[in-house]
Amino acid sequence: MADNRGADPRDGDPEPRGAEGGEDVVDDPILEQGAVVLRGYVIERINTQDPSRQVSSEDLGGRPGEQQEPQIKEVVEQLLRIAEEMNRNAELQRLISQVQGDCAQDIFMEVARSIFADGINWGRVVALFHLAYKLIYKALTTNHLENIRTVIGWVLKVIKEQLYGWLVAQGGWEGVIRSFSRWRTVAALASVVLLASFVYYRKTR
């Protein structure tokens, strides 16, 4: 899935093309696949939490059928397994539930920086996706649909500015498949760092 062709997309425009709004016109495999994987993660989490709510990739700014690629499915599945460990942390879930659906970009970015302040691993990537999922779900349930693509754009910005080099080193998004045997440890570490991040978030509100 990784393709490190061409110039480093972290150079040049400050925003990935299409990031504001979530459309996949960024012309970069890491960012495009990141948006697809995030949408897949959000859709599957909603299917689990609220099965009566039918959400498609198109609702989240994606393309029809984008979730059918076998590698995308496998990546999303592994990320969801990491998330399941995080879901068992009651205090973490309580703190996440307090995040406002109209969370400002500067607050989102500050929390994201906090998540990755002392390192990157797949558990922390899931922590970022879990935060985005919560905001997107709130946008859906409160009928603030314009916020959905904005949140996806924020995640793409974080991927571009903070995670891009690390993802390339992992071989792209499918790197989580190869590291699956370590997911319980990674998830436990992610729970701790996300808990600390949300403590920071609450103090700065």
Query: What would the pLDDT profile of 138-181 be if each residue is shown by its tens digit?
Result: 889 888 888 899 999 999 999 999 999 999 999 999 999 877 55
Whether 74 and 177 have beta carbons less than 8 Å apart is answered as yes
The torsion region of residue 2 among left (phi > 0), alpha (psi -120 to 50) and beta comes to beta
Separation of first and last alpha carbons in the chain: 39
**What is the domain-level CATH number for residue 107?**
1.10.437.10
Average pLDDT, the chain: 78
Q: Which amino acid would we find at residue 156?
A: L
Q: What count of residues does the chain have?
A: 205
Mean pLDDT of 26-52: 92
Alpha-carbon distance 82 to 183, whole Å? Answer: 6
- pLDDT at position 203, please? 55
Whether 149 is covered by a domain: the verdict is yes
Is the predicted pLDDT of residue 35 greater than 60, yes or no?
Answer: yes
Is the predicted pLDDT of residue 42 greater than 60, yes or no?
Answer: yes
Residue 142 in tokens: 């409160």
- C-alpha separations of 111 from 7, 65, 153, 184 in Å: 29, 32, 15, 23
**Structural domain containing residue 135:** 29-174
Query: What would the pLDDT profile of 79-93 be if each residue is shown by its tens digit?
Result: 998 888 766 666 555
Whether 201 is covered by a domain: the verdict is no
pLDDT band at 205 (very low <50, low <70, confident <90, very high): low
Whether 182 is covered by a domain: the verdict is no
pLDDT band at 114 (very low <50, low <70, confident <90, very high): confident
Give the number of domains in the chain: 1
- pLDDT at position 63, please? 92
Whether 2 is covered by a domain: the verdict is no
The residue ranking higher by pLDDT, 162 or 116, is 162
With tokens 């509100």, the residue in question is: 205
Whether 198 is covered by a domain: the verdict is no
Whether 70 is covered by a domain: the verdict is yes
- pLDDT at position 18, please? 42
Whether 94 is covered by a domain: the verdict is yes
Percent of the chain with pLDDT over 70: 66
Whether 189 is covered by a domain: the verdict is no
Is the predicted pLDDT of residue 74 greater than 50, yes or no?
Answer: yes
Mean pLDDT of 23-34: 78
